[in-house]
Amino acid sequence: MIAVVSALGMTAVLGGCGLGGDSGEVTLRLVAADYGDSASNSSQKYWDALVKAYEAKHSGVKIDVSVYSWNEVDAKTKAMVDAGEAPDMAQIGAYADYAAAGKLYSTADLLSIPVEADFLEPLADAGQVDHIQYGMPFAASTRVLFYNKTLFTAAGLTPPKDWSELAADAEALKARGVKYPFALPLGSEEAQAETMQWLLGGGGGYTDDIGTYTLDSTQNISALTWLRDNLVDKGLTGPVAPAKLNRADAFAAFANGDVGMLNGHPTLIQQAAKKGVKFGTVAMPGRTGKAKTTMGVADWMTAFKQNGHRDQIGDFLDYVYSEKNVLAFSREYDLLPVTNSASKEMEASQQDQALRPFLQELPLSTLYPVGNTSWATVSADIKQRIGQAVSANGSPAGVLGQLQAAASLAESGK
């Protein structure tokens, strides 16, 4: 969901996970993802400071944290688990397959009641498999439409409220020579996110209300057909084909002043501001007005049973999810807090004013179907194929039909 950055903290963590030393101390191993965009703000620094403060008050517990980039953290965790050397905790992108295999502690096994109850409801619900919560939301974001105020003012435009207005604004921006009137990143980095926003805006989505995949629904086919016919085929998405445009490149182009509009998450705020781009944000347009729901994304903290240490893990995670620490992480990386207490504090704080549009969207957002054990496979398939649906002579119905067939097979475990 969030920025893919260089690997940091390449400490070997295979072997001896969760074992205590001669002193009788318990060492908990945590694998975590990196949310920073440079060495100066790497997540390793965040965790080092948090762990130092925790260990100062808990002499019998040591926390060993290894941070990896989003390109590799899920694979690193899987390799450890497959080797029979699971970490005690892993802060990663998905959890359902581990939960279904019986490898994870439930949230109720670990956290104190006040901490468990503090998670935002849609995030807590998304962390469940068979109505039991195993995934603890760690970071969240939503999406809004970013637009370049300078380009809009020069063209005499106002931000769009629906898809027809978005297309008209893009036409006007193209006429003025804007490189990317609307940046549409359907490359393999995060195509599943961009796609989901358009499907929701068209009244569809990846699943129905009970979690069954509905990728080739009439609403979804119609949404991608509109995208192909009204934006891509008319040359309104810029010089790079959507299937080859990655989210990071689209964000960089926006920060360089080359993009009129794109769908963005909170980290774009700081990236654009650093380059001096004047921008505004509005709620995501839908087909006939504001989209009824927008996409929410969460990353997950998991706790593995293999090494035991349930009490120590639970106590540490209670500390991790304190209001102070949730706020510190969210503010460091321009992300949304996953707890009610931190969200209320952030919404009331003047220093977090830029995040309010995202905070307001989160309680009503729709998340990926992460409770489906097949989601990791289905998501990877969407990343690879979905760009073809809106390409010249592309077939939304054909591509979505292929994705639906593959998703049904993956969900059945065949």
Average of per-residue pLDDT values in the chain = 90
Instruction: Evaluate whether residue 230 is within a structural domain.
Output: yes
- Quote the CA–CA distance of 356 and 414 in Å, as a whole number: 44
Could you tell me the pLDDT band of residue 411, with boundaries at 50, 70 and 90?
confident
Per-residue pLDDT reduced to its tens digit, 17-27: 333 333 468 99
Q: What is the pLDDT of residue 373?
A: 86
Per-residue pLDDT reduced to its tens digit, 128-142: 988 999 999 999 999
Weakest-pLDDT range from 93-102, 103-112, 149-158, 312-321:
93-102
Higher pLDDT, 267 or 301: 301
Whether residue 15 is predicted with pLDDT greater than 80 in this model: the reply is no
Higher pLDDT, 190 or 166: 166
Q: Helix or strand or coil: residue 143? A: coil
Judgement on whether residues 87 and 194 belong to the same structural domain of the protein = no
Are residues 135 and 370 in contact, defined by beta-carbon separation less than 8 angstroms?
yes
Q: What percent of the chain has pLDDT over 70?
A: 94
Judgement on whether residues 108 and 54 belong to the same structural domain of the protein = yes
Q: What is the pLDDT of residue 211?
A: 87
Average pLDDT over residues 48-57: 96
DSSP sequence for 144-204: EEEEEHHHHHHHT----SBHHHHHHHHHHHHHTT-SEEE----STTTHHHHHHHHHHHTT-
Judgement on whether residues 380 and 246 belong to the same structural domain of the protein = yes
Judgement on whether residues 117 and 170 belong to the same structural domain of the protein = no
Q: What is the pLDDT of residue 399?
A: 97
Provide the domain count of the chain: 2
Judgement on whether residues 271 and 336 belong to the same structural domain of the protein = no
Judgement on whether residues 187 and 241 belong to the same structural domain of the protein = yes
Could you tell me the pLDDT band of residue 392, with boundaries at 50, 70 and 90?
confident
Judgement on whether residues 190 and 282 belong to the same structural domain of the protein = yes
Judgement on whether residues 264 and 406 belong to the same structural domain of the protein = yes
Q: Which CATH number fits the domain that encloses residue 289?
A: 3.40.190.10
Average pLDDT over residues 249-255: 96
Burial class, 209, CB count within 10 angstroms (exposed 0-12 / middle 13-18 / buried 19+): exposed
Per-residue pLDDT reduced to its tens digit, 346-391: 999 999 988 888 998 888 789 999 888 899 889 989 999 999 999 9
Token digits of residue 253: 């182009």
Per-residue pLDDT reduced to its tens digit, 66-99: 999 887 899 899 999 999 999 999 999 889 989 9
Q: What is the pLDDT of residue 252?
A: 94
Instruction: Evaluate whether residue 99 is within a structural domain.
Output: yes
Judgement on whether residues 182 and 210 belong to the same structural domain of the protein = yes
pTM over 0.85: no
Judgement on whether residues 406 and 274 belong to the same structural domain of the protein = yes
Domain span at 124:
26-141+297-367
Judgement on whether residues 384 and 343 belong to the same structural domain of the protein = no
Average pLDDT over residues 300-309: 96
**CA-closest candidate to residue 400, choices 375, 381, 413:** 381
Judgement on whether residues 97 and 232 belong to the same structural domain of the protein = no
